[in-house]
Amino acid sequence: MCIPSCQQDRPFNTQENMMQPLPSPRYYTDLPNDDHHDDDEFDVSSQNARSDNSRTALMNDDHEEKSWAIDPEGRQHPHSDAACRCQPIQRKKRRWVCRTILSIRSLLDTAMLVVILVLVAERRWPEYSILPGKQNSEGTKGEIGGDITGFAPHFSQQITTFKPDPQYVPDNSSDFFTEAVRQKWLGIVPRGLGYVTINKTSSHGRGSFDNLPHPLKEYPSSTFTTSVTHQIHCLHTIAGVVAAYESNRLDMLPEEGAWHLNHCFDYLRQSIMCCGDVALEGQHTTFPEDFTGSDGWDAKHVCRDYGEVLEYLESNRADDQVWI
């Protein structure tokens, strides 16, 4: 049995064999008849051993290639087995990112819902505004005690407890006509006594006014009075008539006569009914001991900020007259 000289003369190189396919093994029975090498002293068993070693080396190298990959710069990186180990970590990271995004979106959805509810409440119930400086673009339209024309803005509200103040109606009826009492009453009405001049086109940034009443004839331009100052005027008139009769100061009776007094009674009646204040009131604290009922001084009422009302009416007054 003989081995071809190409394998007999060249030493076996494992790295070179890695780059080229292994030649098919040739056995004695496959050799041509004229291929005789009986004179060569060659150990066939040694050649077979080298072939087995080559196959083993190739199998080992192939196993290493499955575990490591070599990049173009010659650096080794984990290949198939390492990548498989990284997949669970990557899946966990993706799940964490998804959960984080969903949590953030839930918070954003909740915040948007709160904003929408606040805006709806602001439009539906502007008197309970929680936004600082908020004024309804339609003014007091639709509010109890408001103005349907759009002239008046939305005023702040506050809780007010009524308290007795004899400075407006003294126990001594004759004191009602003093200058001190007069100044107390003038202190709760604006200059011009709530008479305002407006145009049909708003000068206050609210567009055109609707449902304007007929203007007062004694003024050259569109001038109107306001209900709150009218009510205070009527109340002051009634108090003056009572004080004049009690103190026998008939010279202090109003010149208009009974018709004006009757008008004020009816006007205040309807004003009180219009407001419909339903604040609960308890046991009296100032009446005589043998008197039953409530004096109303312990009740809390939901009221407009009257300071804002005075400021607005005075800033839009028709004239500078000081009277009541």
Q: What is the pLDDT of residues 163-184, one digit of tens each?
A: 999 999 999 999 999 999 999 9
Torsion of CA 186, 187, 191, 197, to 10 degrees: -100
Interatomic CA distance for residues 215 and 220, integer angstroms = 9
Instruction: Record the tokens describing residue 195, joined without a space.
Output: 């008479």
272 band by pLDDT with thresholds 50, 70 and 90: very high
Q: Determine the pLDDT at residue 64.
A: 44
Q: What is the pTM of this model?
A: 0.59
Q: What is the pLDDT of residues 90-139, one digit of tens each?
A: 777 788 888 888 889 888 989 999 989 888 876 766 555 544 444 444 56
- Angle at alpha carbon of residue 180, lines to 174 and 182, rounded to 5°: 80
Q: What is the pLDDT of residues 199-241, one digit of tens each?
A: 765 544 445 677 889 999 999 889 999 999 999 999 999 999 9
Distance between CA atoms of residues 294 and 224, nearest Å: 37
